A and B are shown apart, each in its own frame.
Chain A
């Protein structure tokens, strides 16, 4: 395709595979925006990224053996989330070093398995970066389930997550079930990350679960505003990313990630410009 020739935006809904991808990214936008807001507020961005990447070796094995990719990824993601929760409960933060080590082991282990054990070949790209243009009805149902779970959890647990995230000890003293709330958040992030794998792959999960919420965080001043804006940014980045992918014949997962990153940079520049134009007021006594 000639890169200069812009496709019609209506292609996004008229081409069947594009329409499916658009619905998938919109559903994941709801899940990613809502959970992403909590991920960013609770400083779990690295955890969300690591959860996605940790699934890679499981995906390679599933792909080569014909085992369900979703179940394999779910087992790995929930296992990882459980390990992080246990470490946190024992007062031992798993820490950045342990997470970085896990990322290296998961990526390197996955690549070795793919190249030398299963000879997966071209499948590696798909597992790492997703293939939003080859999705089926099953993928849509899983994404819809993730969106519904994220929405239900936000409605039921949002106040507790806010109180605990703002002031852990004070929240616990209010009688909020801190451990249950934290477990549910980590578990939901793991499940939703697995739902996003077909579209964006193991390496780009953060593009849906961290980047839109980080952008929205720059533009909003309340938890409610953050939740709404994160969903809006995630849906817009999904549609714009698909359009760019159609225009430049680029893989959709990376295209969505690049568009999301550009939106973040634009929001950061706008925020910085606004702060320069209007100096912060002096602190009141």
Chain B
């Protein structure tokens, strides 16, 4: 098994300050998915910034196989007033070929159209990105990652504020992308959804736990991860792991 993403003894800080995240140690194989759980400000986005290379490790190492990972911000953090269509956004993925100063080629356009078709938005190619629903926007960003042909995808709360029908479609796409051998790292607040992933990583400044969902999703780990922000339900889930809900507001964390 070759690791698509690996972190070892990783500590990351902003501008020389105290580490926002430390003692991170995990490996993720190609063709598998990782759910990153943690409270607001717990270090989920910091981990992604270290994986994109935007933040250099203070200590330890990170490695990402197969070139640049794609980063999908929460769609509310993109500029929804920008005059770009769904096709324009998908086409941005072709900038990753390294020739960003050249105009898009005909073949790039064809690739972008095919990617939009794949996420079920071929008929919305000309629509303004900001006028699409939250779930459609997330699918357009997935199309951009498909055009980029990223082997590793980092998704920041992709299902926040997405309606259930769109969420189901997006989760199906996650499965397809994983089956193609891509590695997916998804941060979320939804403890219940973590069960569907191959691995779960819990962070709260420190790494709290990493492993298969059945091993990680225990009352003790969740309480250490979320502190007072979590309510663990008494009734266990279908696979014997605990069920829990987080009580917090959705706002951007570090």
Q: Which residues of A line the B interface, CB within 8 A?
A: 41, 90-91, 155-157, 159-160, 162-163, 165-167, 169-177, 217, 220-223, 225-226, 283-285
| B84 pairs with A223, CB closer than 8 A | yes
Instruction: Say how far B160's CB is from chain A's closest CB, in angstroms.
Output: 16
- How many angstroms between the C-alpha atoms of A220 and B85 in the bound complex? 12
Residues on B close to A: CB < 8 A?
Answer: 14-15, 49, 52, 54, 68-73, 77-79, 82-85, 88-89, 92-93, 95-96, 98, 100-101, 103-104, 128-129, 131-133, 135-136, 141, 144, 148, 154, 163, 165-166
Neighbouring A residues of B78 by C-beta, 8 Å: 166-167, 170
**4 closest residue pairs by CB, A with B:** A173-B71, A167-B78, A163-B92, A166-B82
Cross-interface CB contact of B68 among A157, A174, A220, cutoff 8 Å: A174
Q: Cα distance A160–B104 when bound, in Å?
A: 11
CA distance A162 to B91 in the complex (A): 11
Q: Are B85 and A222 in contact (CB under 8 A)?
A: yes
Whole-angstrom CA separation of A97 from B88 in the bound complex:
35
Given the complex of chains A and B, what is the CA–CA distance between A171 and B77 in angstroms? Answer: 13
CB distance from A33 to the nearest CB of B (A): 15
- Contacts A172-B54, A223-B84 known; list 11 others, CB within 8 Å: A41-B83, A160-B101, A162-B88, A165-B79, A166-B92, A174-B92, A217-B83, A222-B84, A225-B83, A284-B136, A285-B165
Best-surrounded residue of A160, A163, A170, A217 (most CB of chain B within 10 A): A170
Contact residues in A for B68 (Cβ distance below 8 Å): 173-175
Which residues of chain A are near B136, meaning CB under 8 Å?
284
Cβ–Cβ contact A170 & B165, under 8 A? no
Total contacts A-B at CB 8 Å:
102
**How near does chain A come to B20, taking the closest CB pair, in angstroms?**
14
Find out whether the CB atom of A156 lies under 8 angstroms from the CB atom of B84: no
Q: For residue A175, which residues in chain B have a CB less than 8 angstroms away from its CB?
A: 68, 95-96, 98, 100
Q: Is the pair A223, B72 in contact by a Cβ cutoff of 8 Å? A: no
B71 lies within 8 A of A169 (CB): yes
Indicate if the CB atoms of A160 and B95 lie closer than 8 Å.
yes
Q: Is the CB of A285 within 8 A of B166?
A: yes
Find B52's partner among A90, A169, A220 (CB 8 Å cutoff): A169
Residues of A close to B69: CB separation below 8 A: 173
Inter-subunit contact B93/A174 (CB<8 Å): yes
Distance between B53 CB and nearest chain A CB, rounded to angstroms = 8
Q: Identify 17 residue pairs between A and B in the complex whose beta-carbon atoms are under 8 Å apart, listed by A's number.
A: A91-B14, A155-B103, A157-B101, A159-B95, A159-B101, A159-B104, A162-B84, A165-B82, A166-B84, A169-B71, A169-B77, A170-B144, A171-B92, A173-B69, A174-B96, A223-B84, A283-B131
Residues of B within 8 A of A162 (CB): 82, 84, 88, 92
Instruction: List the A side residues contacting B72 at CB < 8 Å.
Output: 170
**Please, how many angstroms separate the alpha-carbon atoms of A251 and B15 in the complex?**
50
